[in-house]
Chain A
Amino acid sequence: MAVSDWELVRRCKQDDRQAFQELVERYQRKAVAIALGMLHDREDALEVAQEAFTKVFTSISKFKEESSFYTWLYRIIVNLSIDRQRQRSRRSMFERHPSRGDDDDDWVESIPDTHGLDPSDLVAERERGQHIRAAIDELTPAHKAVILLRAVEGLSYEEISQVLQCSRGTVMSRLHYARKKLQKRLGHDL
C-alpha cells in the first residue's frame, strides 16, 4: 500500500529527503499541469513548479495538517504562477517573450500522435489546439485557476476554496463564469 501524504509530510519534517523526493514524484505532473495551464510556457511552468516544491520543503515545518498536502502545494503554485505572469507582463512591455510566439510553434510538436492522420485532420487538430489554448489564455488568472483545479485536478468546491482562499460561493460563481466564457469562445471546437 502506498504511503500516505501525511506520513511523507511527517518524515519531511524530520529532514527525510527520500520522503520529500517521493512527494515530489507523486505530485510533479499535477503541479506542472497547473503551472502550464496558468502560464502556457513550458520553461516557466517547470521553474514555477520546482520553486514551489523548494518552498514546500523549506517551510514544511509550518504546514499544519488541517488541510491536505496537495491543496497547500497547489496554493503555492497558483500564487507563484500569478507572480510569474505579472513579471512577464511587466517584461513584455519592453520585449516580447522569447519562448512564446504568436504562431505558437509549440503546437506543431503538440499534436500527440500524428501517425495515421490525414494532413487536413492534422491542420484541423492544430487549429483546434490553438483555439483551446487561446480560450484558456483569455481567462483571468483567478478564473484560470478555478477551472484548472476543477477540470484538470478534479478538486471539490471546498478544496478549491482552500487553495484560492475564497468562499465556496466565489468558487461557484468563478467556475460558472469560466465555463461560460470557454464555451462561448470555443463553440464548435467543443
Chain B
Amino acid sequence: MTDKVLTRITVNGVLHERWVEPRQHLVDYLRDELGLKGTRSGCEHGVCGACTVRIDGDIVRGCLTLAVQADGARVETIEGVSDSGEIADLQHAFLESNALQCGFCTPGMLLTADALLKSEPAASREQIREHMSGNYCRCTGYHAIVDAVESTRETRRLAGCGGDRHE
C-alpha cells in the first residue's frame, strides 16, 4: 500500500492536518476522518451529485476528488454552510416547497443550486432544470426543487444580494 501523505485542509474554517492515503476520496475523508456525515455518497463515480462540496468556493464532486488534491485548500460542506447561515434562505425554500423527501440528495442539491444562483442570479426555470441535471433525486420528481430554487432566486433578487459570495 502507498504511504500516507500529510495534508492540511481547512474544512468549514477549521484547519485539519492529517496523514491520508493518497487513494482516499474527499467524500470519504470528510465522512470517515472528520465525521462530517452530511456529504453523501450515492454512486462513487461522479454521476449523482450527492457528494457535492465546495473547494475554494467552487462546487466539486467529493467522489471524484482525492483528499490530497484539497491539500492547502478551503473546503466547505453542508455542515459549514448550515452553521454560517449562508444558504438559510435556500434551505427554508426547500422546506416550504417540500423540495426534499428522504433528504439524501439534498445537501448536494442545495450547494449546486446555491452555486447556480450565485453565477446566474436571474436563472430561468429551464436554466435551473438544466443546471440541476447533474444532481439526481429519486424521490421528488424535481418539480418542487425547481420551485424552491426559483423562489430563492426571487427572494435574493428582492433583497438585492444575488451574486454575492459570502467569503
A binds B: no
